[in-house]
Each structure stands twice: as C-alpha cells, then as structure tokens.
Amino acid sequence: MDRRTFTKSSVWASLGLAVAPRVMAGQNNFNKHQFNLKYAPHIGMFNNLAGDDPIDQLNFIADQGFTAFEDNNMGTRPISLQEKMSLTMQKRGLEMGVFVGYKDFKNPTLAGGKEEARRDFLKQIKTSVEVAKRVNAKWFTVVPGTVDLRLVEGYQTANVVESLKQASSILEPNGLVMVLEPLNWYRNHPGLFLKESPQAFNICKAVNSPSCKILFDIYHQQIQEGNLIPNIEKCWDEIGYFQIGDNPGRKEPTTGEINYKNIFKYIHGRRFNGILGMEHGNSKPDKAGELAVIEAYKSVDSFM
C-alpha cells in the first residue's frame, strides 16, 4: 500500500464506515463525481482530510473528481516543489489555474506611471512567465496597486493601460494570460485602483491583447456592484477566469446570499471551458467542514 492510499484509508476510517466504501471506491475511479465545470480547489482547503503534503492534497483533489487546481502562492514555493506539483498535476489530469503574478495593495505602482515602478512590474511579469512554464499554467493574477490621489482617473487609467500593453508584449509570444482582478472597496480592499468589472472591461479593450483579460471574482463583485449575471454577460468577451466565494463570509457556495447554481448554469450555458477558482475559506472546521465544501459544490453543480 503506497503512502497516499494509506493516508486516505486512515482518514476515511476515522470518519466512519458509512463513508469509507464510497471514498475507497473513488481510488479506483468508481463513484468519482463528474463536475460540469472546472472548479479549482487550493492548497489548504482539504488539509485535514488529505494531510499537509501538497502532493497528497493534489491527489485527494483529483480523487474527488475535481479537474483543476489553483495556488496563489505557487510563485513563492521552492522550484523543486513547483516541479513536483506540476508532474503530479499532469499525472492526475489536473489543469493549473492562477497563481499571483503581480500584486501591490499599498502603492499606486501602475496608476502613478513612474518608470521605476513600471520596470519592477515588468520584471515580475518576466519572473511569472518562468513560473508559468514550470507548472504548465496559462493564467496568473495581476493586482495593479492603489489609486494615485495626485492624478485624475483618466491619467491613471492611461498609465495602467501602458504598463499592461508592455506586459502583454512579453506574454503573447509565450501564450500566457494575465488576468486583472477587480477587488471590492467596501469590505476587503479600500483604495485599490481596480474595483469594478466595467472598469476592467474598458482597460482590457484598451490594451487589446489576448494576454490581458478579466478575473471575475464573484465574491468581490457581489459586494462591489451586484447584478452578477448581467455584468458577467456584458464583460463576457474579456473574462478569462472566474473565482468563487459566497457573501457574506467568503466561504463555500450555499453559505451566503449568492445563487451559485444559477450563475454556474449561465456560465456553463455560455460554453465556458476555463477554470473557476475556489478562492474562499471553509464555513466549518476540521474534516466535517472539508466534506461540506465538496458536498456544496456537488449541490450547486447540479444545474443540468
């Protein structure tokens, strides 16, 4: 018996015989759930059930029927671990979602238009290209920084667009996509430059590159602007990636006010073939809470 099989057998035995046969069968691809969309868990989401080892967690994710994975911190992990994770994802049929390629939550790095800040941004973009190649990723997240109170909005937007155009010229030859994430001002990130989906849409249109798209985080946009499905519809041509979290609480679907079953039905109906990152916490602790996350996704995925 290999380590992963032993670990999972011990875990499910501790949860009781009622669930053990189902999960043990899943190791042989029996009763593995087939999701309609590519929901992507992250490291730590199932560490009580799968253990702390990232490789064990990837195997557990695949055993549950998930076909994608995301990891905001991938770029800061040791290269040897990145390579090992990449090999595991390839072996288990897991598509790599986003990692964070560039972020600044404190300074007007792109909006201010200073050359030094732009050079640092492009340097980090080049570094992210190497990470993406290593882990077979297509997308990575970009957070452009805060607003610059010394400049009117139009100048700030022009500065951001110019930086993103230069970044796109690096990404296009490599077939990679930076996804711009609007983040809400009202609860989590007051003062950031990029906060609404129409704003991100306009910027992507101005950059006019297949390497610059929107990361539509449903949690953030429920808080910032609401009207989710109509805004997704209006932004559709520029959306490259989705992230998930219910509101309030930023936990798994079914724990808040967002009707995720209807949203996923709409996204599926548009033949979206990309990834939906599960960028949220668990509403309940321990193993039972992790099982609840899996069951929540089975529930909201039952829109067919």
Is there a contact between 83 and 131 (Cβ–Cβ < 8 Å)?
A: no
Give the helix ranges, DSSP H, for the chain.
Answer: 3-15, 20-26, 47-50, 54-63, 79-92, 115-135, 153-171, 197-207, 218-224, 228-235, 260-269, 286-300
For the chain, the structural domain boundaries read 37-300
Residue 110's nearest CA partner among 197, 178, 198 is 178
pLDDT of residue 29: 45
- Distance, CA of 32 to CA of 27 (rounded, Å): 8
pLDDT tens for each residue of 69-95: 999 999 999 999 999 999 999 999 999
> Does the structural domain 37-300 have CATH classification 3.20.20.150?
yes
What mean pLDDT is reported for the chain?
A: 92
Decide: helix, strand or coil at residue 206.
Answer: helix
Show the tokens assigned to 137: 């990723």
pLDDT tens for each residue of 273-287: 999 999 999 999 999
pLDDT of residue 25: 34
pLDDT tens for each residue of 136-182: 999 999 999 999 999 999 999 999 999 999 999 999 999 999 999 99
- Distance, CA of 239 to CA of 194 (rounded, Å): 15
pLDDT of residue 32: 86
Cα–Cα distances (Å) from 231 to 18, 72, 94, 234, 296, in that order, read 43, 25, 29, 5, 24
Is there a contact between 97 and 69 (Cβ–Cβ < 8 Å)?
A: yes
Bond preceding residue 108 cis, omega within 30 of 0: no
Could you say which residues of the chain have pLDDT below 70?
Answer: 1-31
